[in-house]
Each structure stands twice: as C-alpha cells, then as structure tokens.
Amino acid sequence: TSLQAAPSSRNFPNDFLWGSATASYQVEGAVQEDGRGPSIWDTFSHTPGKTHHGDTGDIADDFYHRYPQDIQLMKELGLKACRFSVSWTRIFPSGTGAPNQRGLDFYHRMVDALLAVGIQPFCTLYHWDLPQPLQDRGGWENRDTAKAFADYAGYTAGKLSDKVSHFMTMNEMRTFVQQGYGDGTHAPGLIVGPKRLAQLTHHVVLAHGMGVQAIRASARPDTRVGIADNVTVTTPVIEIPEHIAAARVAMREENAMFQTVIQEGRYTELYLKRLAADAPHYTPEEMTIIRSPMDFVGINVYQPTWIRADHSDAGYAVVPAPSSYPRMFSPWLSVGPEGIYWATKLVADIWKVKEIYITENGSSSSDLIAPDGAVYDTDRVMFLRNYLTQMQRAISDGVPIKGYFLWSLLDNFEWADGYEKRFGIVYVDFATQKRTPKLSAMFYKNLIASNRIV
C-alpha cells in the first residue's frame, strides 16, 4: 500500500552475515561449575567498590544453562551468526597446565546447538577474563603471559575448528590495557604508569601474533583468523578533503600501538617520539610475529573520534565533543553513525584489508517498561538505524564488510557498570531470568528478513 516504504537500493549483499555478540564473563554465570578456575574478573567484581552496586558475573544471564532457549531466540530473530567468547579458565583452570575436558565440553554443546539451527559460530579467545594465577605472576606485564595465551588459543582452536570457522584472538586490546592497567577501572584494577603500560601493551600485541600462529598450527587449514579491535574511530569532522586526509593519518597514529603495529610490524615514529623514554623494548623477531597475516579484521564501533586537519607535526587534531553532544545511556557513548563508514573505509584502504566484520556495535538504553509490559527502546532503534545506514553506505562504496554482530543479544554484566547499563535487544529480568524482546529486536528481525535498511 501507499503507506509502505518504497523499495530502495539500500540492500545488503545476499550472503551478508547478521549476528549478535556476547562474551563469556558477561553472560555465562556458573563460575564454580565443571572445574572452571578463577579469573581476574571474579577477583575484581568481588572486591568491594569496584563495580556498580557490587554486581558480579556469578550468575549473569545464566547462559551456561540457558543457552538452548537463548539460541532458540536467536533463531526466531533470524540471526545467521553468533559471536561468543571462550572462558580461558574453563579450558585451563589455572591458565596453564592440564586442560579441563568438562569446560571444553560446554563449548562443544553450545556450538552444536548453534549449528543445529543453522547459526554460524564465531569464537573470540580472549574477552578480558585472564586466569587469576597468571595475574598473580604479573599478568600482561609478564611476557610469559603471551606464551600462555598462545598455548591456550592453539589448544582451544584446535579442538573447536571442525565446527567453528572464524576465530578472533582478542577483544578490544585497548580497553583491557587502558582500563585494566592505565586507570584501574577494570580488572585487574591497576594504575602502572606510562612506561610499564607501553611495555605490557607490547606483550599484548605479541600475544595476539603468537596466538595467530598457534591457531594456524593446530586448527583446520581453512580456519579464518582475525581479531576484534576497537580501533579509535577517526572520523572527519566534516566530509571535505582536508579533514578526510587528516582522519586517514589519525587512523594510523591513534591506533599505532594496536592495529597499526599488527598490520605493519612496526611502531610509528610519532608513537615512539610521543613515548620518548617510556617506549617499549622490542626485537625485530617479535615484530615479525606481531604482524602475522590475518584473514579478516573485526572492528567494534561505538563512539566516534572527530578529527580535523591541523598544521602540527601530527597533521591532525582531535575535536572534543561539546557537552551538549548527544549520547546514549552510557556517558562515553556519543553518537556518530558516520564512524562506522569511516572506520571500515579507512582500515580497508590503509591496510588493504579484504574482509571486515563489525564484531560489535550497539547501545545502552534506560529501557522504560511500558504499561503493556513491552520495552519500547526507541533510542536504541534510532541508534541502530543510523549506524546501519552508514554501514550500508560503506558496502555500496565497495568496503568489504561481510557481517555485523550487534552488541548484544541479551542485557548482561556490563563490567564495572554491573547490571545498570543494558545493551541487549532482549530485556533480561535478572531476578527471574525472564527474557523479553525489545522493540529493537523486532526492528533487527525485520531488517534481517528484508536484508535492507529503510
């Protein structure tokens, strides 16, 4: 009828992978079950004053037991892919040593349930839940942690690669480095200062590279290996050539210690100059490992970093957001739909990346429950519609984005924000574990079914 949206060219590719993303500690619960060992997030969340309300992931979404129903929910929404993470301490309860078969069995059961309904599993090996015994030996400050990670990653990918085609070594290196060791707001809650921070950052990218090699050595040869990186989303403040050029320079420099070094195997001159005496020790052999080729790059996109041209040494400057700038329910989550366009376009262009996934995108909402019991999260729908419009624009421009993982299916343990910040398109009543799809779930389901954005 005349009230229906007109057909448009805003289609997505036929084989586009629509999915959702989660992480072990944020959804699983069952922290004492089947031989799981303690991680730094158990320690941190149980330390008074560290999380909102003292919330912990002890139960979370109880996904460890409720995965069959939750996977049914994914199927009803029409999801084609699911990104999950493995809890290191379910596989190796003390980080290294003998593997724990009962922990591995859980991921076999869960992956089997996904495959049974035609949902493709994507596996992240490290989403921040470092084994506590490794932290007791220095955590990422200890270079041996990189070796322990590679051993765990290789073992786990080797066991799952008959069923899982895509592995990501790590999720958001910047976040767990900066918040875990830089400002202490995430586990392990340390503030180590710039010199130690630069050195442990180097161990993290080394662990990624060693992980890539270990996965290749043990997994099926057709396994695809990548990362889920929250690159700083450098976005031209307005789209004119001088600011676009500046955003391109900024993409390399702002991500010098993460995406740039893993793509190029060297730290930029500006990065080393900015660090001066705090620069990390590294060897040419390590750089070769760090830049081990990946098959795809996953990018988590949330807030933009606005960039303008500048006559400084760097050639660009960050434009801070005015206090009136629109934000979602998390103060850090400023709204910049164009970011998803520029982040993917610049990454593809600078490093000639042939396969990109949006491994996370989504928003928090205060989620008012209406008198009829439904959750009309119009703010989240607005956020998604705008970001997905810009993602479609990127695909139309030839940026090779192959899939999109919405963060998140369920409201879950939002780290230091506990259960206060809800990122799900499905509402979770944590007292009863009841799931209620929000308006945004309906929006996403319809978008997937039509495979276009209007």
Residue ranges in contact with ligand GBH by CB under 6 A: 23, 26, 171-172, 175, 185, 230, 300, 302, 332, 360, 407, 414, 423
CB nearer to ligand GBH: pick between 243 and 435? 435
Burial of 269: CB neighbours in 10 Å, binned 0-12, 13-18, 19+: exposed
CA distance 224 to 414: 29
Comparing every residue's Cβ against ligand GBH, the nearest one is 332
- How far apart are CB 100 and ligand GBH at their closest, in Å? 24
To the question of whether residue 26 is assigned a binding role by annotation, the answer is: yes
CB nearer to ligand GBH: pick between 178 and 389? 178
Per the document, the length of the chain is: 454
CB nearer to ligand GBH: pick between 120 and 408? 408
To the question of whether residue 88 is assigned a binding role by annotation, the answer is: no
Question: Of 365, 367, 363, which Cα lies nearest the Cα of 388?
Answer: 363
- How far apart are CB 415 and ligand GBH at their closest, in Å? 6
To the question of whether residue 76 is assigned a binding role by annotation, the answer is: no
- The β-bridge partners of 17 are 403
Per-residue tokens: 234 = 């450098």
- How far apart are CB 172 and ligand GBH at their closest, in Å? 5
**Could you tell me the sign of the dihedral formed by the alpha carbons of 282, 289, 204, 39, in that order?**
negative
To the question of whether residue 302 is assigned a binding role by annotation, the answer is: yes
CB nearer to ligand GBH: pick between 334 and 389? 334
CB nearer to ligand GBH: pick between 341 and 407? 407
434 neighbors 371 (Cβ within 8 angstroms) = no
Can you spell out the DSSP letters for 316-374? EEE-PPPTTS-B-SSTT-B--THHHHHHHHHHHHHH--S-EEEEEE---B--PBPTTS-
CB nearer to ligand GBH: pick between 342 and 423? 423
- How far apart are CB 151 and ligand GBH at their closest, in Å? 24
- How far apart are CB 98 and ligand GBH at their closest, in Å? 29
- How far apart are CB 298 and ligand GBH at their closest, in Å? 11
385 neighbors 393 (Cβ within 8 angstroms) = no
To the question of whether residue 127 is assigned a binding role by annotation, the answer is: yes
The catalytic position among 76, 285, 360, 420 is: 360
The catalytic position among 172, 253, 254, 338 is: 172
Question: Of 154, 159, 66, 160, which Cα lies nearest the Cα of 120?
Answer: 160
Edge-to-edge strand ranges of the sheet holding 316-318? 234-236, 305-309, 316-318
CA distance 42 to 326: 34
Query: Catalytic annotation on 360?
Result: yes
355 neighbors 297 (Cβ within 8 angstroms) = yes
To the question of whether residue 332 is assigned a binding role by annotation, the answer is: no
To the question of whether residue 171 is assigned a binding role by annotation, the answer is: yes
CA distance 29 to 13: 36
Q: Which residues are annotated as a binding site for substrate?
A: 26, 127, 171, 302, 407, 414-415
Q: Which residues are annotated as a binding site?
A: 26, 127, 171, 302, 407, 414-415
Catalytic residue positions, numbered: 172, 360
